[in-house]
């Protein structure tokens, strides 16, 4: 499953248009198929989907087969629309909300990453869902969860615990689904925060390809605005950091999340941001694929989401194509017609060895002297990052 595509893969992180992820509680296969028709119409080839952990395993001893059947029907619906599927398992964290089963909360509270009983329960869950989805030929990958490092610090952990936790569960995935990619997903504190208990090496050593999530509200949009070079090249910067940190020069990097969050990217600039940021990253030889966050907006009748979360969709909740969707569809068609064209690149040596000096991560964070030097050089040509010896 790890052969490099002739051109990068293009997909969307699937957020149901009707009922957000609460829709798993009252699954509607017809609504899912309507959503997937939207995405297929853009020329997308895959979706990343998010079953919600506590609704499948509400008790450590219970795996709800009916919930797994709903997930399998969703996967079949994707196949009907020519879409392959990556399944994330531990949700975990979605659109600012955390979903955890009651058996790890209240007076049962214990760390997801360090408690042996939680590890046993998670192993059962991961094994059951991975075995089920591996029966579907259009599933190509299983990711442990969506940005599982968002679940810290509410679940205590150390770097060794975080790494060991992911290693063990990835082994469970591969035993259950040996023909699928087994992946680990984290947000970018891994790259930029000195005291973060998940390390860059987790991204590039664990699983079968590296995944990065590019969100410009992490501070990069404050460097130079919505269409400034630092903002437009942030996705490419993360791909380069991952490529540089890997010991395998051929290891692919999946841009697993990128989107147009407001107010950082105003509505009238979202199409231009989409086109230009994808054009800047798509020819990177390390890039495996681009998966947009998200497929559909969140209905504003649902309460208590951060405001930016409501409008990240390529489509409105009533299936209207938004400007970012039109721009993405145009770029996809152009790339598939002309192919990728890697350009001659310059190099820049990082001041930090991210493999051995994670406590110095702030020195390569957005707005740091190194980052600004990379952005300046990137305005003339692609820039490969090299770690110091």
CATH code of the domain covering residue 16: 3.20.20.80
Asked if 205 and 378 touch (Cβ cutoff 8 Å), the reply is no
Mean pLDDT of the region 120-147: 98
pLDDT digits (tens, 9 = 90+) for 241-288: 999 999 999 999 999 999 999 999 999 999 999 999 999 999 999 999
- Average pLDDT (329-355) is 96
pLDDT in the model for residue 5: 56
Burial string for 286-299 (b: 16+ CB within 10 Å, else e) reads bbbbbbbbbbbbbb
Q: How many residues does the chain have?
A: 389
- Give the residue numbers spanning the domain of 330: 9-342
Distance separating alpha carbons of residues 310 and 322, to the nearest angstrom: 13
H runs (alpha helix) in the chain: 29-40, 53-56, 65-80, 116-133, 159-176, 189-192, 200-205, 221-224, 229-232, 234-245, 270-281, 323-338, 369-378
The model's confidence at residue 364, banded by pLDDT at 50, 70 and 90, is very high
CB of 93 within 8 A of CB of 151?
yes
Q: Do residues 324 and 271 lie in contact, with contact meaning Cβ atoms separated by under 8 Å?
A: yes
Please check whether residue 383 lies inside any domain of the structure: no
Compute the distance between CA of residue 219 and CA of residue 317 in angstroms, rounded to an integer. Answer: 29
The answer to whether 155 and 112 are in contact (CB under 8 A) is yes
Q: Domain for residue 389, yes or no?
A: no
Instruction: Confirm whether 376 is domain-assigned.
Output: no
Tens digits of per-residue pLDDT, 152-172?
999 999 999 999 999 999 999
Q: How far apart are CA 51 and CA 38, in angstroms?
A: 20
Give backbone dihedrals phi and psi of 381, rounded to 5 degrees, phi first.
-170, 160
Q: pLDDT digits over 55-87, tens only?
A: 999 999 999 999 999 999 999 999 999 999 999
Alpha carbon dihedral 254, 259, 264, 267, in 10-degree steps, equals 150
Query: What pLDDT is stored for residue 6 in this prediction?
Result: 76
DSSP per-residue codes, 227-240: TSHHHHTHHHHHHH
Query: How many distinct structural domains can be found in the chain?
Result: 1
Indicate whether 359 belongs to any domain. Answer: no
Distances (CA, A) of 58 to 13, 68, 91, 143: 25, 13, 13, 21
Model-wide pTM > 0.75: yes
Average pLDDT over the chain, rounded to whole?
A: 97
| Residue 88: alpha-carbon gap to chain centroid | 9
pLDDT of res. 280: 98
Helix (H) or strand (E) holding 89: strand 84-90
| Mean pLDDT across 351-375 | 98
Enter the DSSP assignment of 138: T
Cis peptide before 153 (omega within 30 of 0): yes
Q: Taking residues 123-142, report their average pLDDT.
A: 98
């Amino acid at each position: 499953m790890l052969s490099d595509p002739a051109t990068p893969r293009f997909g969307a992180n699937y957020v149901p248009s009707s009922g957000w992820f609460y829709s798993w509680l009252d699954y509607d296969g017809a609504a899912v198929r309507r959503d997937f028709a939207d995405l297929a119409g853009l020329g997308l080839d895959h979706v990343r989907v998010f079953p919600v952990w506590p609704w499948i395993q509400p008790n450590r001893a219970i795996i709800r087969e009916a919930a797994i059947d709903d997930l399998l029907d969703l996967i079949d619906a994707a196949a009907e629309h020519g879409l392959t599927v990556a399944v994330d398992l531990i949700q975990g964290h979605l659109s600012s909300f955390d979903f955890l089963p009651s058996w790890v909360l209240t007076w049962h509270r214990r760390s997801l990453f360090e408690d042996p009983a939680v590890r046993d329960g998670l192993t059962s869950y991961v094994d059951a869902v991975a075995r089920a989805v591996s029966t579907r030929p259009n599933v190509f990958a299983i990711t442990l969860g969506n940005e599982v490092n968002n679940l810290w610090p509410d679940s205590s952990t150390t770097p060794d615990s975080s790494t060991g936790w992911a290693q063990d569960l990835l082994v469970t995935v591969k035993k259950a689904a040996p023909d699928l990619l087994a992946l680990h997903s984290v947000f970018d504190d891994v790259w930029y925060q000195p005291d973060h208990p998940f390390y860059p090496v987790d991204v590039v050593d664990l699983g079968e390809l590296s995944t990065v999530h590019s969100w410009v509200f992490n501070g990069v949009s404050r460097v130079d605005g919505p269409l400034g070079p630092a903002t437009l090249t942030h996705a490419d910067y993360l791909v380069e950091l991952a490529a540089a940190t890997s010991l395998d020069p051929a290891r692919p990097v999946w841009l697993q999340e990128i989107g147009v969050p407001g107010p950082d990217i105003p509505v009238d600039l979202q199409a231009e941001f989409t086109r230009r940021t994808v054009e800047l990253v798509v020819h990177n030889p390390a890039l495996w694929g681009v998966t947009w966050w998200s497929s559909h907006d969140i209905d504003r009748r649902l309460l208590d989401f951060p405001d930016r979360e409501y409008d990240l969709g390529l489509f409105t909740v009533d299936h209207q194509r938004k400007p970012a969707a039109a721009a993405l569809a145009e770029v996809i068609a152009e790339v598939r017609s002309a192919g990728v064209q890697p350009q001659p690149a310059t190099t820049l040596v990082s001041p930090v060895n991210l493999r051995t000096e994670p406590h110095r991560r702030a020195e390569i964070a957005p707005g740091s002297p190194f980052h600004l030097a990379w952005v300046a050089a990137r305005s003339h040509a692609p820039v490969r990052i090299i770690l110091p010896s």
